[in-house]
Chains A and B, each alone.
Chain A
Protein backbone atom coordinates (compact mmCIF):
# COMPACT_ATOMS: atom_id res chain seq x y z
CA UNK A 1 0.00 0.00 0.00
CA UNK A 2 1.31 3.44 -0.91
CA UNK A 3 1.36 6.38 1.51
CA UNK A 4 1.73 10.04 0.55
CA UNK A 5 3.51 12.61 2.71
CA UNK A 6 4.64 16.20 2.55
CA UNK A 7 8.17 16.79 3.87
CA UNK A 8 11.04 19.15 3.04
CA UNK A 9 8.94 20.90 0.42
CA UNK A 10 8.30 17.67 -1.50
CA UNK A 11 5.30 15.41 -1.91
CA UNK A 12 6.63 11.89 -1.42
CA UNK A 13 4.93 8.57 -2.11
CA UNK A 14 6.34 5.54 -0.27
CA UNK A 15 5.20 1.89 -0.06
CA UNK A 16 5.25 1.87 3.77
CA UNK A 17 3.97 4.12 6.57
CA UNK A 18 6.27 6.88 7.89
CA UNK A 19 4.75 8.12 11.17
CA UNK A 20 7.28 10.96 11.48
CA UNK A 21 6.16 12.59 8.21
CA UNK A 22 3.08 14.72 7.65
CA UNK A 23 0.37 12.93 5.61
CA UNK A 24 -0.70 14.54 2.34
CA UNK A 25 -3.60 13.89 0.04
CA UNK A 26 -2.55 11.75 -2.95
CA UNK A 27 -5.43 13.18 -4.94
CA UNK A 28 -4.49 16.82 -4.32
CA UNK A 29 -0.70 16.59 -4.56
CA UNK A 30 1.11 15.00 -7.49
CA UNK A 31 4.12 13.20 -6.06
CA UNK A 32 7.53 14.81 -6.59
CA UNK A 33 9.19 11.57 -5.53
CA UNK A 34 7.89 8.00 -5.73
CA UNK A 35 9.84 5.30 -3.89
CA UNK A 36 9.69 2.28 -6.19
CA UNK A 37 10.32 -1.33 -5.26
CA UNK A 38 13.03 -2.66 -7.59
CA UNK A 39 16.10 -4.90 -7.31
CA UNK A 40 18.91 -2.88 -5.67
CA UNK A 41 22.58 -3.90 -5.82
CA UNK A 42 24.44 -4.70 -2.61
CA UNK A 43 27.32 -2.34 -3.42
CA UNK A 44 27.93 0.79 -5.46
CA UNK A 45 30.52 -0.07 -8.08
CA UNK A 46 31.89 3.49 -8.02
CA UNK A 47 31.88 3.80 -4.20
CA UNK A 48 33.92 6.78 -2.98
CA UNK A 49 32.86 6.92 0.65
CA UNK A 50 30.90 4.90 3.17
CA UNK A 51 30.97 2.33 5.95
CA UNK A 52 29.45 -1.07 6.67
CA UNK A 53 25.91 0.19 6.11
CA UNK A 54 26.18 2.71 3.29
CA UNK A 55 28.06 3.59 0.10
CA UNK A 56 28.20 7.01 -1.54
CA UNK A 57 29.52 8.33 -4.84
CA UNK A 58 28.82 11.63 -6.63
CA UNK A 59 25.08 11.61 -7.31
CA UNK A 60 24.51 8.18 -5.72
CA UNK A 61 23.73 6.85 -2.25
CA UNK A 62 23.13 3.24 -1.23
CA UNK A 63 21.87 2.27 2.23
CA UNK A 64 22.09 -1.33 3.40
CA UNK A 65 19.56 -1.31 6.21
CA UNK A 66 20.15 -4.81 7.54
CA UNK A 67 18.02 -7.90 8.08
CA UNK A 68 14.92 -6.04 9.34
CA UNK A 69 15.07 -3.35 6.69
CA UNK A 70 16.15 -3.38 3.04
CA UNK A 71 18.42 -1.67 0.56
CA UNK A 72 17.65 1.84 -0.65
CA UNK A 73 19.32 3.33 -3.72
CA UNK A 74 19.11 7.09 -4.32
CA UNK A 75 20.20 8.04 -7.80
CA UNK A 76 19.42 10.98 -10.08
CA UNK A 77 16.76 12.26 -7.68
CA UNK A 78 14.90 8.92 -7.54
CA UNK A 79 14.65 6.28 -4.80
CA UNK A 80 14.50 2.50 -5.23
CA UNK A 81 13.91 -0.03 -2.46
CA UNK A 82 14.49 -3.76 -2.22
CA UNK A 83 13.09 -5.18 1.03
CA UNK A 84 14.82 -7.92 2.95
CA UNK A 85 12.78 -11.01 3.79
CA UNK A 86 12.35 -10.14 7.48
CA UNK A 87 11.77 -6.46 6.85
CA UNK A 88 9.96 -4.47 9.53
CA UNK A 89 8.18 -1.40 8.13
CA UNK A 90 8.97 0.65 11.24
CA UNK A 91 12.69 0.13 10.59
CA UNK A 92 12.26 0.92 6.88
CA UNK A 93 10.47 4.14 7.81
CA UNK A 94 13.22 5.18 10.20
CA UNK A 95 15.96 4.53 7.63
CA UNK A 96 13.99 6.43 5.03
CA UNK A 97 13.32 9.53 7.14
CA UNK A 98 16.78 9.61 8.77
CA UNK A 99 19.20 8.87 5.95
CA UNK A 100 17.56 8.24 2.59
CA UNK A 101 15.61 11.51 2.56
CA UNK A 102 18.79 13.45 3.36
CA UNK A 103 20.55 11.95 0.34
CA UNK A 104 17.52 12.58 -1.86
CA UNK A 105 17.35 16.24 -0.82
CA UNK A 106 21.05 16.70 -1.56
CA UNK A 107 20.64 15.21 -5.00
CA UNK A 108 17.75 17.59 -5.63
CA UNK A 109 19.95 20.62 -4.97
CA UNK A 110 18.98 21.57 -1.42
CA UNK A 111 21.65 22.39 1.15
CA UNK A 112 21.22 19.59 3.69
CA UNK A 113 22.64 20.06 7.16
CA UNK A 114 23.12 17.76 10.12
CA UNK A 115 21.26 20.29 12.21
CA UNK A 116 17.91 21.22 13.74
CA UNK A 117 15.68 24.12 12.83
CA UNK A 118 13.16 26.04 14.91
CA UNK A 119 10.87 28.98 14.16
CA UNK A 120 11.42 31.66 16.80
CA UNK A 121 9.45 34.93 17.01
CA UNK A 122 12.34 36.51 15.06
CA UNK A 123 12.63 33.92 12.29
CA UNK A 124 14.17 30.51 11.83
CA UNK A 125 17.25 29.53 13.79
CA UNK A 126 19.36 26.55 12.69
CA UNK A 127 21.28 24.62 15.35
CA UNK A 128 24.34 22.71 14.12
CA UNK A 129 27.21 20.96 15.85
CA UNK A 130 28.78 17.53 16.20
CA UNK A 131 26.90 14.59 17.72
CA UNK A 132 26.47 15.22 21.44
CA UNK A 133 26.71 19.01 21.06
CA UNK A 134 23.19 19.48 22.40
CA UNK A 135 21.26 20.29 19.21
CA UNK A 136 18.12 18.29 19.95
CA UNK A 137 18.08 19.20 23.64
CA UNK A 138 18.26 22.89 22.70
CA UNK A 139 15.55 22.42 20.09
CA UNK A 140 13.28 20.77 22.68
CA UNK A 141 13.97 23.60 25.15
CA UNK A 142 13.01 26.18 22.50
CA UNK A 143 9.80 24.26 21.73
CA UNK A 144 8.97 24.42 25.45
CA UNK A 145 9.28 28.21 25.13
CA UNK A 146 6.62 28.32 22.44
CA UNK A 147 8.82 28.14 19.34
CA UNK A 148 7.67 25.98 16.42
CA UNK A 149 9.63 23.06 15.03
CA UNK A 150 10.85 22.68 11.46
CA UNK A 151 13.27 19.75 11.68
CA UNK A 152 15.47 17.59 13.89
CA UNK A 153 18.72 16.03 12.69
CA UNK A 154 18.14 16.62 8.95
CA UNK A 155 17.60 20.27 7.99
CA UNK A 156 17.21 21.47 4.41
CA UNK A 157 17.78 25.00 3.09
CA UNK A 158 16.76 26.43 -0.26
CA UNK A 159 16.81 29.87 -1.89
CA UNK A 160 13.74 31.96 -1.12
CA UNK A 161 11.74 33.75 -3.80
CA UNK A 162 13.14 37.15 -2.82
CA UNK A 163 16.82 37.96 -3.30
CA UNK A 164 18.93 37.47 -0.21
CA UNK A 165 16.37 35.23 1.49
CA UNK A 166 17.10 31.64 2.50
CA UNK A 167 14.24 29.35 3.48
CA UNK A 168 14.22 26.39 5.83
CA UNK A 169 11.65 23.75 4.89
CA UNK A 170 9.69 21.66 7.43
CA UNK A 171 10.85 18.07 7.74
CA UNK A 172 10.09 15.15 10.07
CA UNK A 173 8.09 15.81 13.24
CA UNK A 174 10.19 13.95 15.82
CA UNK A 175 12.81 15.12 18.27
CA UNK A 176 15.47 12.59 19.30
CA UNK A 177 16.56 13.08 22.91
CA UNK A 178 18.73 11.16 25.32
CA UNK A 179 16.83 9.88 28.35
CA UNK A 180 18.58 12.43 30.60
CA UNK A 181 17.71 15.31 28.29
CA UNK A 182 14.09 14.19 27.89
CA UNK A 183 13.66 13.91 31.65
CA UNK A 184 15.49 17.21 32.24
CA UNK A 185 12.99 18.91 29.96
CA UNK A 186 10.02 17.25 31.62
CA UNK A 187 9.09 14.65 28.99
CA UNK A 188 7.89 11.32 30.38
CA UNK A 189 9.88 8.54 28.68
CA UNK A 190 9.05 4.86 28.89
CA UNK A 191 11.87 2.31 28.40
CA UNK A 192 10.04 1.03 25.31
CA UNK A 193 10.59 4.41 23.62
CA UNK A 194 14.39 4.21 23.85
CA UNK A 195 16.07 3.41 20.55
CA UNK A 196 19.25 1.29 20.89
CA UNK A 197 20.25 2.18 17.29
CA UNK A 198 20.35 5.89 18.20
CA UNK A 199 22.54 5.56 21.28
CA UNK A 200 19.49 5.01 23.48
CA UNK A 201 17.80 8.19 22.34
CA UNK A 202 14.07 8.43 22.45
CA UNK A 203 11.94 9.74 19.59
CA UNK A 204 9.40 12.24 20.90
CA UNK A 205 6.61 13.26 18.58
CA UNK A 206 6.59 16.99 17.90
CA UNK A 207 3.61 17.01 15.54
CA UNK A 208 1.73 19.47 17.73
CA UNK A 209 4.74 21.82 17.67
CA UNK A 210 5.41 21.58 13.93
CA UNK A 211 4.99 24.47 11.56
CA UNK A 212 3.76 23.46 8.16
CA UNK A 213 5.33 26.43 6.39
CA UNK A 214 8.87 27.08 5.24
CA UNK A 215 10.43 29.93 7.23
CA UNK A 216 13.05 32.57 6.58
CA UNK A 217 16.47 31.69 8.01
CA UNK A 218 17.66 34.34 10.50
CA UNK A 219 20.74 32.80 12.16
CA UNK A 220 22.87 29.68 12.37
CA UNK A 221 24.43 28.48 15.63
CA UNK A 222 27.14 25.82 15.87
CA UNK A 223 26.88 24.35 19.36
CA UNK A 224 29.77 22.74 21.19
CA UNK A 225 30.46 21.62 24.75
CA UNK A 226 33.34 23.52 26.34
CA UNK A 227 35.47 23.44 29.47
CA UNK A 228 34.24 26.91 30.46
CA UNK A 229 31.60 27.76 33.05
CA UNK A 230 29.49 30.13 30.95
CA UNK A 231 27.37 30.00 27.84
CA UNK A 232 29.18 32.13 25.25
CA UNK A 233 28.02 33.01 21.73
CA UNK A 234 30.81 34.33 19.47
CA UNK A 235 30.04 35.71 16.04
CA UNK A 236 31.80 34.02 13.09
CA UNK A 237 32.97 36.07 10.10
CA UNK A 238 34.42 35.72 6.61
CA UNK A 239 35.99 32.43 5.52
CA UNK A 240 35.22 30.90 8.91
CA UNK A 241 31.52 31.06 8.05
CA UNK A 242 32.11 28.73 5.10
CA UNK A 243 34.11 26.39 7.31
CA UNK A 244 31.34 26.40 9.93
CA UNK A 245 28.75 25.65 7.24
CA UNK A 246 30.89 22.83 5.86
CA UNK A 247 31.07 21.33 9.37
CA UNK A 248 27.27 21.19 9.42
CA UNK A 249 26.79 19.48 6.03
CA UNK A 250 24.94 16.17 6.18
CA UNK A 251 26.98 13.32 4.73
CA UNK A 252 30.00 13.48 2.47
CA UNK A 253 30.41 16.28 -0.06
CA UNK A 254 32.60 15.23 -2.97
CA UNK A 255 34.96 17.82 -4.43
CA UNK A 256 33.23 17.74 -7.81
CA UNK A 257 29.87 18.50 -6.13
CA UNK A 258 31.23 21.52 -4.29
CA UNK A 259 31.08 24.06 -7.17
CA UNK A 260 27.38 23.33 -7.80
CA UNK A 261 26.60 23.89 -4.12
CA UNK A 262 28.80 26.97 -3.77
CA UNK A 263 26.19 29.55 -4.92
CA UNK A 264 23.68 28.36 -2.31
CA UNK A 265 26.36 28.13 0.37
CA UNK A 266 27.48 31.67 -0.51
CA UNK A 267 23.90 32.91 -0.31
CA UNK A 268 23.45 31.36 3.15
CA UNK A 269 26.74 32.80 4.38
CA UNK A 270 25.81 36.25 3.07
CA UNK A 271 22.22 36.18 4.33
CA UNK A 272 22.51 35.53 8.07
CA UNK A 273 24.85 35.80 11.05
CA UNK A 274 26.65 32.67 12.27
CA UNK A 275 27.64 32.02 15.87
CA UNK A 276 29.73 29.44 17.67
CA UNK A 277 27.91 28.82 20.91
CA UNK A 278 29.96 27.22 23.69
CA UNK A 279 28.12 25.64 26.61
CA UNK A 280 29.62 24.19 29.80
CA UNK A 281 30.07 20.42 29.43
CA UNK A 282 30.09 20.02 33.19
CA UNK A 283 26.55 21.13 33.99
CA UNK A 284 22.97 21.37 32.68
CA UNK A 285 22.83 24.69 30.82
CA UNK A 286 20.17 24.23 28.16
CA UNK A 287 17.94 26.96 29.60
CA UNK A 288 20.78 29.51 29.31
CA UNK A 289 21.56 28.27 25.80
CA UNK A 290 17.92 28.69 24.74
CA UNK A 291 17.69 32.17 26.30
CA UNK A 292 20.98 33.22 24.67
CA UNK A 293 19.70 32.14 21.26
CA UNK A 294 16.37 33.93 21.67
CA UNK A 295 18.02 37.15 22.90
CA UNK A 296 20.65 37.08 20.18
CA UNK A 297 18.08 36.42 17.42
CA UNK A 298 15.99 39.29 18.68
CA UNK A 299 19.01 41.63 18.68
CA UNK A 300 19.95 40.54 15.14
CA UNK A 301 16.42 41.27 13.97
CA UNK A 302 16.66 44.82 15.31
CA UNK A 303 20.05 45.51 13.64
Chain B
Protein backbone atom coordinates (compact mmCIF):
# COMPACT_ATOMS: atom_id res chain seq x y z
CA UNK B 1 0.00 0.00 0.00
CA UNK B 2 1.41 3.35 -1.06
CA UNK B 3 1.27 5.83 1.80
CA UNK B 4 1.89 9.52 1.18
CA UNK B 5 1.81 12.65 3.31
CA UNK B 6 -1.75 13.43 2.20
CA UNK B 7 -3.01 9.92 2.96
CA UNK B 8 -5.47 9.60 5.83
CA UNK B 9 -5.10 6.48 7.98
CA UNK B 10 -7.08 4.95 10.84
CA UNK B 11 -6.95 1.78 12.90
CA UNK B 12 -8.83 -1.22 11.53
CA UNK B 13 -11.97 -2.11 13.52
CA UNK B 14 -12.38 -5.23 15.66
CA UNK B 15 -8.79 -5.57 16.87
CA UNK B 16 -7.75 -6.70 20.35
CA UNK B 17 -4.71 -5.27 22.03
CA UNK B 18 -2.75 -5.53 25.26
CA UNK B 19 0.21 -3.61 26.69
CA UNK B 20 3.15 -5.96 27.31
CA UNK B 21 6.41 -4.66 28.75
CA UNK B 22 7.33 -1.66 26.55
CA UNK B 23 5.20 -2.80 23.64
CA UNK B 24 1.59 -2.92 22.67
CA UNK B 25 0.61 -6.25 21.16
CA UNK B 26 -2.31 -6.33 18.73
CA UNK B 27 -4.28 -9.41 17.72
CA UNK B 28 -5.88 -9.19 14.30
CA UNK B 29 -8.66 -11.81 14.48
CA UNK B 30 -9.16 -11.79 10.70
CA UNK B 31 -5.62 -13.05 10.16
CA UNK B 32 -5.13 -14.67 13.58
CA UNK B 33 -1.73 -13.06 14.01
CA UNK B 34 0.01 -10.83 16.52
CA UNK B 35 1.71 -7.53 15.78
CA UNK B 36 3.98 -5.90 18.37
CA UNK B 37 4.57 -2.15 18.35
CA UNK B 38 7.39 -0.44 20.26
CA UNK B 39 7.07 2.88 22.12
CA UNK B 40 7.17 5.04 18.95
CA UNK B 41 4.82 2.71 17.09
CA UNK B 42 2.54 2.82 20.09
CA UNK B 43 2.38 6.63 19.92
CA UNK B 44 1.34 6.46 16.27
CA UNK B 45 -1.15 3.74 17.16
CA UNK B 46 -2.73 5.94 19.84
CA UNK B 47 -3.02 8.84 17.38
CA UNK B 48 -4.69 6.83 14.61
CA UNK B 49 -7.51 5.72 16.86
CA UNK B 50 -9.16 8.58 14.95
CA UNK B 51 -8.48 9.18 11.21
CA UNK B 52 -5.32 11.27 10.77
CA UNK B 53 -3.57 12.74 7.77
CA UNK B 54 0.01 11.46 7.64
CA UNK B 55 1.44 14.99 7.39
CA UNK B 56 -0.38 15.94 10.58
CA UNK B 57 0.87 12.80 12.33
CA UNK B 58 4.43 13.74 11.37
CA UNK B 59 4.03 17.27 12.73
CA UNK B 60 2.68 15.90 16.04
CA UNK B 61 5.48 13.36 16.35
CA UNK B 62 8.17 15.89 15.44
CA UNK B 63 7.16 17.91 18.50
CA UNK B 64 7.08 14.82 20.76
CA UNK B 65 10.37 13.36 19.58
CA UNK B 66 12.34 16.55 18.87
CA UNK B 67 12.99 15.84 15.18
CA UNK B 68 11.99 17.50 11.93
CA UNK B 69 8.76 16.38 10.20
CA UNK B 70 10.91 15.18 7.29
CA UNK B 71 13.00 12.95 9.60
CA UNK B 72 9.82 11.61 11.18
CA UNK B 73 8.20 11.01 7.77
CA UNK B 74 11.16 8.88 6.69
CA UNK B 75 10.28 6.44 9.51
CA UNK B 76 6.52 6.85 9.70
CA UNK B 77 5.70 6.27 6.01
CA UNK B 78 7.21 2.75 5.88
CA UNK B 79 5.76 1.98 9.33
CA UNK B 80 2.24 2.92 8.18
CA UNK B 81 2.72 0.90 4.98
CA UNK B 82 3.71 -2.08 7.14
CA UNK B 83 0.73 -1.90 9.50
CA UNK B 84 -1.72 -1.42 6.63
CA UNK B 85 -0.21 -4.48 4.95
CA UNK B 86 -0.66 -6.34 8.26
CA UNK B 87 -4.34 -5.37 8.16
CA UNK B 88 -4.36 -3.48 11.45
CA UNK B 89 -4.72 0.01 9.85
CA UNK B 90 -6.72 1.22 6.87
CA UNK B 91 -6.32 4.04 4.39
CA UNK B 92 -9.41 6.24 4.50
CA UNK B 93 -8.42 8.70 1.76
CA UNK B 94 -7.28 9.69 -0.77
A and B bind? yes
* Complex contact A238–B27 (CB within 8 A): no
Q: Which of A239, A262, A270 is within 8 Å of B36, CB to CB? A: A239
Map CB proximity to A onto B1-34 as digits: 1 under 8 Å, 0 otherwise.
0000000000000001011111101010100101
Check A259/B25 contact, CB under 8 A, given A238-B36, A239-B35, A242-B34.
no
Q: Which of A242, A256, A259 contacts B20 (CB 8 A)?
A: A242
Q: Give the secondary structure class of A's interface.
A: helix
- CB contacts (< 8 Å) of A63 on chain B: these are none
CB atoms of A241 and B27 under 8 A apart: no
List the A side residues contacting B32 at CB < 8 Å: 255, 258
A269: Cβ under 8 A from any B Cβ: yes
Number of A interface residues at 8 Å Cβ cutoff, please give it. 15
A205 adjacent to chain B (CB < 8 Å)? no
Cα-based distance from A239 to B21 in the complex (angstroms): 9
Residues of A within 8 A of B35 (CB): 239
From A238, which residue of chain B is reached at the shortest CB distance?
B23
In the complex, A242→B33 CA distance in Å? Answer: 10
Partner of B25, one of A238, A255, A256, A258: A238
Contact of A258 with B27 in the complex, beta carbons under 8 Å: yes
Q: Within the assembled complex, what's the spacing in Å between the Cα atoms of A256 and B18?
A: 18
- Residues facing B in A265-283 (CB within 8 A) are 266, 269-270
Flag if B16 contacts A237 (CB, 8 Å).
no
A27 in the interface, Cβ–Cβ < 8 Å?
A: no
Chain A: which residue is nearest B29 at the CB level? A259
A270 touches B18 (CB 8 A): yes
Task: Kindly provide the distance from the CB of B10 to the nearest chain A CB, expressed in whole angstroms.
Answer: 21
- Closest B residue, CB atoms, query A243: B34
| A262 with B23: CB separation less than 8 A | no
Bound CA–CA A242/B26 (angstroms): 10
Chain B residue with Cβ nearest A265: B18
Contact between chains at B29 and A255 (CB < 8 Å): yes
Looking at the assembled complex, report how far the CB atom of B38 sits from the nearest CB atom of chain A, in whole angstroms.
8
A256 contact set on B, CB distance < 8 A: 29
- Contacts A242-B34, A255-B32 hold; do A237 and B20 have CB atoms under 8 A apart? yes
Residues in A with CB closer than 8 Å to B27 are 242, 258-259, 262
Residues of A at the B interface (CB closer than 8 Å) are: 237-243, 255-256, 258-259, 262, 266, 269-270
Q: Please list the 3 inter-chain residue pairs (A to B) with the smallest Cβ-Cβ separation, ordered nearest first.
A: A239-B36, A266-B18, A238-B23
18 interchain pairs, CB-CB under 8 A: A237-B23, A238-B21, A238-B22, A239-B23, A241-B20, A241-B21, A242-B25, A242-B27, A243-B34, A255-B29, A256-B29, A258-B29, A259-B29, A266-B25, A269-B18, A270-B18, A270-B19, A270-B20
11 more A-B residue pairs beyond the given contacts A238-B36, A242-B20, A262-B16, with a C-beta to C-beta distance below 8 A: A237-B20, A237-B22, A237-B23, A238-B20, A240-B36, A241-B21, A255-B32, A258-B32, A262-B18, A266-B16, A270-B19
